[in-house]
Amino acid sequence: MPHLDLIGRWIAATTGRTLDQHAADPLPTAAHLPEAASTLRHLRTELLLTVDQLRTLLINADDLTGPVGAVTGTLETIADLAREYHQARDRVDTLIGDTARAAYAQAHPGGMVQRRYVNPGDTVLVVLPHTDACRRQHLAGQRAHIKVGTADAGLRPPGSANPLRLSHADAGIYRDPTEDRLYILQATTDAATASR
């Protein structure tokens, strides 16, 4: 059974915009929210699994029959994951609390976006997000044909003879956490097909 995207729901409840709507906003602080949420989601899952391993170790009394290092090693892993989780949560909180992002969101109602699922090897037309990397390369907001890879995407910028590789986040490719599938965003005016 697919898990609920608690991080996405929390951000939507906090900001009044879905992660997909943030991704489409023309500000880096909004465009980086989906990737920051994905990192937070991953670390939260890892922390939950490791805490569960420790709990199972203690319930089964493996700590009494096995080496003490099994418990202390797991505790050190939990502490490391907790630090990483704290940093990821701080990053999300910083992006949510950004005054420019909040002012833009208040002045511009979130646009309707629709997910289009894609697979590695597909060539699709996207609007490149306003991430820092896209802005540095003067690509933010441009429409571009990209070739979807497993971890990145390829494109040939207009007027350039050299291909360019962008991370999924910088190429406007996102991963649905409940279905574990890649998707891109397309603007739509139909509220019935809009992103959740």
Residue with tokens 């956490």: 177
At residue 2, the pLDDT reads 44
Q: What is the pLDDT of residue 4?
A: 67
Q: What's phi and psi for 165, nearest 5 deg?
A: -105, 130
| pLDDT value for 145 | 92
- For the chain, list the strands marked E by DSSP: 113-118, 123-127, 143-148, 152-155, 164-167, 174-176, 181-187
Query: What does each of the 196 residues of the chain score in pLDDT, given as a tens digit?
Result: 345 689 999 999 999 999 999 999 999 999 999 999 999 999 999 999 999 999 998 888 877 887 888 888 999 999 999 999 999 999 999 999 999 999 999 999 878 899 999 999 999 999 999 999 999 999 999 999 999 999 999 998 777 778 899 999 999 999 998 888 999 998 776 544 444 4
Would you kindly state where each structural domain of the chain is located, as residue ranges?
Answer: 6-105, 112-193
pLDDT at 3: 53
pLDDT at 110: 79
pLDDT of residue 193: 43
Which token pair is 169? 């986040």
Tokens 């729901």 -> residue: 9
Q: Residue 189: its pLDDT value, please?
A: 60
What's the pLDDT at 194? Answer: 45
What pLDDT, on the 0 to 100 scale, is given for residue 65?
81
143 close to 126: Cβ distance less than 8 angstroms = yes
